[in-house]
Structure 1
């Protein structure tokens, strides 16, 4: 019986075209493709890596989860050492463990948390400048929090996604949206049972437009009702977004 190996991964997505492999000739351009290259070389097998979800081009992860099946007899520690040695420095393996036969990193995921980082204008951001959205206007936290309260719960979030047509349900549940202002940045954390394509970035862009006065908190209710992407705010740029954790 093949082993089912679970990986906990962090990566800087700045130079990649996202998590998902885009074809056999583009392995080096994606996180999944680069990992599969090294895993296949390590095992001598054609490894198919399953991620908990897809991150867009330029998006980062602090706690991506993935799994693959293999006949490889290396210990989990040896696998981690091998990956650490041969992966580029912007992809790190935090943990390797044997998972149950039926574990599936995407289908078994029960909760995900994303965090978006926005720079406070007028403050130097020398070391984190590549990982922040440098939005130039001050933001009204109270209005953003009011809108976040409207968004929390179980809703059809189709209007907050880039999906045009789908037969699958676009209903998701947001357990919490936490907005925290620090000295140099604003952190917006989204925790839910799943997220649609570009959902976090569109939610963030909408909250920012509310924070700077271009929209009102009640406008998010209109988007939930019409399910029309045009009624929502802009799509926040990818560099400020991090997949923080996945729970099972």
Structure 2
């Protein structure tokens, strides 16, 4: 059966997350329903990451096995037709070797978190960014973020429901970018690692927001990390500002 890699973009607001669930809408179920319009008995698809409810994607990657030898462009066009009106789009498609696996072949995942600091409520970005009313210090947030770079036991920054075998991960990048925003400032957190723990990025951003607001210091971030205790974590921020931005493979299937 030919295997295809799909680059998927979606608005996570109406979904319970990527993973298929019996009683709640999911992105996986939406894509599989579109595939079922093209072929019967399509096996379950696999994705690079199981994003949570409300989390968005700019570059989620999934793979599927089909009976027919599809032209990748025609396959993406057909899927986008059948995905309407769900806020999901196949932005790229490629036929790949049967050894390719969207999850297990990935060597890096990149997340983006959008945080807007302004007094006025968000209008056009409502549901697509986290708004806080207070001003934030980006240099302090970056100083706190620098304490998290490297190989650490991230027990403090993972959900108690996390199913990962080990809390030890290597964080390659946690960079804070400041951008002008009408009536305030947008802070973009760029996060890179081979893999992540459940709620890890949202735990990072919620904690660093406290640093930016002056309630925490960078030393407090170090103390929280070294505590290896979930109770030492700062607030976990809401999901609407989080995006799975990209997934990297040894050989880019979409190149």
Question: What is the TM-score with the length of structure 1 in the denominator?
Answer: 0.93
1:177-231 deviation digits (Å, cap 9, x = unpaired): 1111111111111111111111100100000011112212112222222211110
Higher mean C-alpha deviation, range 116-125 or range 139-148: 116-125
Q: Which residue of 1 aligns with 2:191?
A: 190
Q: CA deviation at 1:239?
A: 0.6
Q: Extract unaligned runs of 5+ from structure 2.
A: 250-255
Q: CA deviation at 1:167?
A: 6.7
Q: Which residue of 2 aligns with 1:17?
A: 16
Equivalent residue runs for 1:164-183 within 5 Å: 164=161, 166=163, 168-183=165-180
* Number of residue-to-residue matches in the alignment: 244
Taking only aligned residues, the RMSD between alpha carbons, in angstroms, comes to 1.6
Q: 1:36 aligns with which of 19, 32, 46?
A: 32
Q: Does 1:4 align with 2:3?
A: yes
Q: Does 1:129 align with 2:138?
A: no
Q: CA deviation at 1:3?
A: 1.1
Q: Which residue of 2 aligns with 1:139?
A: 136
4+ residue stretches of structure 1 with deviation over 4 A? 164-167
Question: What is the TM-score with the length of structure 2 in the denominator?
Answer: 0.91
1:62-94 deviation digits (Å, cap 9, x = unpaired): 000000112123321221111111103410101
Distance 1:33 1:183 in 2: 37
